[in-house]
Amino acid sequence: SREKLRVLLRLDVSTMPANAGNRRADGDFPLAWAKTYGKGRVFYSSLGHAAETWDNRDVAQMYFEAIKWALGLTAGDATPRPLPGGAQR
């Protein structure tokens, strides 16, 4: 729920066929998010299932920066935000 976490990256379902089997009624498919948990920080991403994903420098950099943030080594805002009003549903 966007009420509990900060979505950093989401799937653009507007480019997918209507019969693609989308399971969410709101069409919001977060691919990476962050939140605080107690005094800690949590980062999640669904990227990385395919081995070739790890050859992508942008993906590696995302995880590197996320690890630094989760360890408290860098600042970052994990305040939850609603789905933007103009976002494709």
- Where do the domains of the chain lie? 6-18+26-70
Q: Give the pLDDT score at 12.
A: 81
- Residues pairing with 51 in the sheet: none
- Residues pairing with 42 in the sheet: 35
Q: Give the pLDDT score at 20.
A: 65
Q: Give the pLDDT score at 23.
A: 67
Q: Give the pLDDT score at 87.
A: 56
pTM for the full model?
Answer: 0.81
- Residues pairing with 30 in the sheet: 10
Q: Give the pLDDT score at 84.
A: 81
Question: What is the spatial distance between Cα 56 and Cα 74, in angstroms, rounded to a whole number?
Answer: 23
List, for the chain, all residue ranges whose pLDDT scores fall below the cut of 50: 88-89
